[in-house]
């Protein structure tokens, strides 16, 4: 009997009375509060998400969640009545269930217990390990569960499956996965698999319910089976959407990686120090485009053949990947349109040296992040391939000056520079970034002043300055930024003035003329935090009639300013202030 999602039905427990032959009962998303005592032949019972609301009901109906007390009564009743034939119990997604009673052990034929998404579950009895029939426990996203019972050799938890080698020289416990059909699966300690035949026996390719798969070997330990031989037998199902492989120790991949996965959307390759070659010629076809490919910790890897098409690439600690891209045949244009596919590239800890010529293969990139990848000042050819770039993020502790090609990015709207303590100033040619809308500087402690030409970047809407320990003030020319909407200043301890005093402002003060606001009147949000050197606000701040958000935190020098009557009048008309 399947009554799942029958939220509008009342009296479910009364209706079930007398159905003594029932073996399979699905009550997911119902309002059940008690079970009849006579359902003694049940083998499968699904009580997932009782009292909760499916997404498609959210806007039309109101239902309450089962309380902790209601759950205590129900779960104790399930364990009390004679369910001696029950093999599969699904309690997943019940947010208010906090504990499982010791009496769960009375379910002597229980094979599978699913507690996934029980986010407030705090305790499972240790004695559950004594129920010899239990083979699978599902604990996915049980965030409050502090300790998982130590399972015996014949039982395992899912979706995280830990491979254990048989102590008597027999096969590993990997064969236990043969009878499972999870939607997500993470297999770790694959080095404990005793033979490639074990991997073949679980028939992973036939598990069409799996959409997310992680395969992980432990680095630096001995294997019973060569990693390539084992991976050849772990071909995922065609339904797979997300794949992560880590700790793989062989020098080459089997052909199925990407090639036989038509629904693959995300691929992560991590911690493969010996992998030298990935021949991507086995691509699934011109039309297949992945959302993300990440290659992390594969320093020897060189890619061959046409690259897999992906909207987002992440390359970390994998220098040879970048250099091999120059040699690959690349066609990053969608089969259904002439627009380039890849729009985002992140490169980190690839010291090079790099010529960055590989960027020519990605003409449609709008986001580029380069972290700790060595000297960029000698790579002017980068700009030839970045005409579409809108966001650039740079970080390098050893960088002493910003690359001069920064000013040659005609489409740049967002610039983020972080963790570059060697940089003392912004380059003069950056004044050509006339489309720049957002500027972020953080942890650049050697920058003491921002250039006067900042006022020429009239498209600027946002300025974010975090933890720049040497910064003393913003330039007076900031007043010219008539599109500026937000200024954020945080943990800039050397900051004495929000804006430097202009000569014109000093002259007006001498002649007792009314001061203009040194901040642009377009400003809507001003955030100051941890700037303990600031003693007063800029003159004319009361003229910021568009200011809607004002935050002042950890700025003790401004306490006296906040008590002035003129200030209180100004603050009274600001909608949101802290």
| Residue 468's pLDDT band (cuts 50, 70, 90) | very high
Give yes or no for residue 336 having a pLDDT over 50.
no
Residue-wise over 7-25: b if at least 16 C-beta within 10 A, else e?
A: eeeeebbeebeeeeebeeb
Q: 3-state class of 279 per DSSP?
A: strand
- Cα gap 65→165, rounded to integer Å: 43
Query: Can you give the CATH number for the domain in which 556 is found?
Result: 3.80.10.10
Contact, 518 vs 505, CB < 8 A?
yes
Whole-number pLDDT of residue 335: 38
**Stretch 461-477: mean pLDDT:** 93
| Residue 183's pLDDT band (cuts 50, 70, 90) | confident
**Boundaries of domain holding 79:** 12-138
| Residue 390's pLDDT band (cuts 50, 70, 90) | very high
- Better-scored residue on pLDDT, 102 or 46: 46
Whole-number pLDDT of residue 339: 45
DSSP 8-class letter at 509: H
Whole-number pLDDT of residue 153: 62
Q: 3-state class of 356 per DSSP?
A: coil
**Stretch 426-430: mean pLDDT:** 90
Give yes or no for residue 184 having a pLDDT over 50.
yes
Whole-number pLDDT of residue 234: 95
Within-domain flag for 289? no
**Stretch 479-504: mean pLDDT:** 86
Q: Which of 142-156, 207-221, 240-254, 383-397 has the lowest mean pLDDT?
A: 142-156
C-beta pairs of 318-327 under 8 Å, 24+ apart in sequence: 318/350, 319/350, 319/351, 319/352, 319/354, 321/295, 321/350, 322/347, 322/350, 322/352, 322/354, 322/358, 323/354, 323/358, 325/358, 325/361, 326/355, 326/357, 326/358, 327/302
Q: Which of 219-233, 296-310, 410-424, 502-516 has the lowest mean pLDDT?
A: 502-516
User: Which of 82, 110, 138 lies at the terminal end of a domain, its last residue?
Assistant: 138
Give yes or no for residue 50 having a pLDDT over 50.
yes
| Residue 501's pLDDT band (cuts 50, 70, 90) | low
Alpha carbon of residue 116 to chain centroid: 20
The overall average pLDDT reported for the chain is 84
Give yes or no for residue 218 having a pLDDT over 70.
yes
**Stretch 446-455: mean pLDDT:** 93
Q: 3-state class of 55 per DSSP?
A: helix
- Cα gap 495→491, rounded to integer Å: 9
Within-domain flag for 331? no
- In the chain, how many domains are there? 2
C-alpha separations of 343 from 314, 347, 389, 392, 499 in Å = 12, 14, 9, 12, 37
DSSP 8-class letter at 15: H
Contact, 401 vs 430, CB < 8 A?
no
- Cα gap 382→534, rounded to integer Å: 40
Within-domain flag for 470? yes
In a 13 Å sphere around the CA of 11, the CA atoms on its Cβ side amount to 3
User: Which of 138, 162, 197 lies at the terminal end of a domain, its last residue?
Assistant: 138
pLDDT in tens, 531-541: 888 887 777 77
Q: 3-state class of 161 per DSSP?
A: strand
Within-domain flag for 355? no
Q: What is the 3-state secondary structure (H, E, C) of 482-500?
A: CCCCEEEEECCCCCCCCEC
Give yes or no for residue 63 having a pLDDT over 60.
no
**Stretch 271-299: mean pLDDT:** 83
Within-domain flag for 259? no
- Better-scored residue on pLDDT, 81 or 468: 468
User: Which of 94, 109, 138 lies at the terminal end of a domain, its last residue?
Assistant: 138
| Residue 206's pLDDT band (cuts 50, 70, 90) | very high
| Residue 306's pLDDT band (cuts 50, 70, 90) | confident
Tokens of 462: 């946002």
- Cα gap 87→155, rounded to integer Å: 14
**Stretch 320-349: mean pLDDT:** 69
Give yes or no for residue 285 having a pLDDT over 70.
no
Whole-number pLDDT of residue 516: 59
Within-domain flag for 254? no
- Better-scored residue on pLDDT, 83 or 436: 436
Q: 3-state class of 429 per DSSP?
A: helix
Whole-number pLDDT of residue 503: 53
Give yes or no for residue 154 having a pLDDT over 70.
no
C-alpha separations of 233 from 226, 236, 281 in Å = 11, 9, 20
**Stretch 258-284: mean pLDDT:** 83
Give yes or no for residue 370 having a pLDDT over 90.
yes
As a whole number of Å, the CA-based R_g of the chain is 31
- Cα gap 497→511, rounded to integer Å: 22
- Cα gap 54→340, rounded to integer Å: 38
Give yes or no for residue 472 having a pLDDT over 80.
yes
Within-domain flag for 174? no
C-alpha separations of 229 from 11, 24, 232, 248, 249 in Å = 56, 41, 5, 11, 11
| Residue 117's pLDDT band (cuts 50, 70, 90) | confident
Terminal Cα-to-Cα distance of the chain (whole angstroms): 57
Contact, 473 vs 495, CB < 8 A?
yes
**Stretch 302-322: mean pLDDT:** 88
Contact, 102 vs 127, CB < 8 A?
yes
Per the rule left: phi > 0, alpha: psi between -120 and 50, beta: everything else, 88 is: beta
**Stretch 460-470: mean pLDDT:** 94
C-alpha separations of 570 from 538, 566, 567 in Å = 13, 6, 5
Q: What's phi and psi for 307, nearest 5 deg?
A: -65, 145
- Cα gap 277→260, rounded to integer Å: 18
Q: Is the peptide bond before 554 cis (omega within 30 degrees of 0)?
A: no
- Cα gap 17→78, rounded to integer Å: 15
* Percentage above 70 pLDDT, the chain: 87
Q: Residue 321: name the closest of 282, 277, 274 by CA.
A: 277
| Residue 287's pLDDT band (cuts 50, 70, 90) | low
Within-domain flag for 452? yes
- Better-scored residue on pLDDT, 78 or 410: 410
- Cα gap 23→40, rounded to integer Å: 9
Which of 181-185, 397-401, 422-426 holds the top average pLDDT? 422-426
- Better-scored residue on pLDDT, 503 or 427: 427
**Stretch 244-253: mean pLDDT:** 95
Give yes or no for residue 362 having a pLDDT over 90.
no
- Cα gap 285→272, rounded to integer Å: 26
Contact, 76 vs 97, CB < 8 A?
no
């Amino acid at each position: 009997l399947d009554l799942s999602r029958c939220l509008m039905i009342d009296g479910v427990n009364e209706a079930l009375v007398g159905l003594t032959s029932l073996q399979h009962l699905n009550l997911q998303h119902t309002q059940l509060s008690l079970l009849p005592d006579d359902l003694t032949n049940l083998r499968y019972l699904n009580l997932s998400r009782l009292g909760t609301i499916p997404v498609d009901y959210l806007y039309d109906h109101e239902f309450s969640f089962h309380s902790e007390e209601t759950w205590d009564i129900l779960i104790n009743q399930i364990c009390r009545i004679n369910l001696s034939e029950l093999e599969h119990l699904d309690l997943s997604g019940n947010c208010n269930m906090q504990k499982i009673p010791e009496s769960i052990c009375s379910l002597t034929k229980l094979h599978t217990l699913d507690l996934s998404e029980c986010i407030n579950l705090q305790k499972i009895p240790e004695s559950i390990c004594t129920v010899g029939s239990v083979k699978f426990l599902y604990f996915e996203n049980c965030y409050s569960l502090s300790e998982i019972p130590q399972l015996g050799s014949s039982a395992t938890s899912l979706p995280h499956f830990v491979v254990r080698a048989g102590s008597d020289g027999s096969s590993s416990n990997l064969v236990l996965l043969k009878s499972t059909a999870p939607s997500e699966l993470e297999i770790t300690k694959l080095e404990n698999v005793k033979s490639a035949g074990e991997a073949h026996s679980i028939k992973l390719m036939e598990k069409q319910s799996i959409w997310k798969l992680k395969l992980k070997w432990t680095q630096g330990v001995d294997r019973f089976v060569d990693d390539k031989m084992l991976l050849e037998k772990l071909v995922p199902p065609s339904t797979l959407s997300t794949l992560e492989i880590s700790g793989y120790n062989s020098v080459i991949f089997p052909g199925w990686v990407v090639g036989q996965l038509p629904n693959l959307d995300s691929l992560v390759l991590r911690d493969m120090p010996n992998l030298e070659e990935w021949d991507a010629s086995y691509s699934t076809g011109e039309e297949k485009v992945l959302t993300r490919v990440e290659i992390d910790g594969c320093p020897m890897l060189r890619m061959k053949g046409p690259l897999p098409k992906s909207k987002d690439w992440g390359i970390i600690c994998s220098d040879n990947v970048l250099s091999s891209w120059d040699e690959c045949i690349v066609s990053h244009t969608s089969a259904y349109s002439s627009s380039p596919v890849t729009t985002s590239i992140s490169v980190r800890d690839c010291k090079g040296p790099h010529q960055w010529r590989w960027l020519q293969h990605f003409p449609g990139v709008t986001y580029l992040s380069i972290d700790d990848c060595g000297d960029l000042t000698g790579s002017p050819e980068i700009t030839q391939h970045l005409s579409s770039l809108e966001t650039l993020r740079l970080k390098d502790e050893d960088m002493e000056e910003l690359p001069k090609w920064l000013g040659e990015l005609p489409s740049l709207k967002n610039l983020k520079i972080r963790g570059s303590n060697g940089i003392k100033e912004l380059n003069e040619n950056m004044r050509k970034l006339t489309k720049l809308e957002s500027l972020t500087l953080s942890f650049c402690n050697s920058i003491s002043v921002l250039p006067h030409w900042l006022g020429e970047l009239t498209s600027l809407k946002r300025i974010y300055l975090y933890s720049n320990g040497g910064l003393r003030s913003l330039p007076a020319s900031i007043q010219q930024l008539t599109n500026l909407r937000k200024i954020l200043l945080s943990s800039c301890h050397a900051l004495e003035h929000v804006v430097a005093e202009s000569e014109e402002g000093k002259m007006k003060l001498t002649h007792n003329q009314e001061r203009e606001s040194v901040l642009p009147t377009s400003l809507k949000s001003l955030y100051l935090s941890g700037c303990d050197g600031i003693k007063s606000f800029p003159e004319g701040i009361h003229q910021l009639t568009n200011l809607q958000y004002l935050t002042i935190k950890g700025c003790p020098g401004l306490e006296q300013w906040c008590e002035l009557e003129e200030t209180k009048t100004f603050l009274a008309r600001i909608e949101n202030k802290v």
